[in-house]
Amino acid sequence: MGVRRIVKGFGEFLVEFVGEAVGELILTLVACALLAGLVLLAYLSWSFSPRLTVAGAGLLGLFLAHGAWRTFRGPAKGRRGRRLAAVTTAGFTVAAVTAVFLLLYGTGCGCV
Q: What is the pLDDT of residues 71-102, one digit of tens each?
A: 888 776 766 668 888 899 899 999 999 888 88
What digits encode the pLDDT tens for the residues 35-60?
888 889 899 999 999 999 999 999 99
Structural domain of residue 35, as residue ranges? 2-108
Domains held by the chain: number? 1
Q: Is the pTM of this model over 0.75?
A: no
Alpha carbon distance 23, 102 (integer Å): 15
Q: DSSP 3-state assignment of 80?
A: coil
Please list the alpha-helical segments (H only) found in the chain: 2-48, 50-72, 82-105
Residue 62 has pLDDT above 90, yes or no: yes
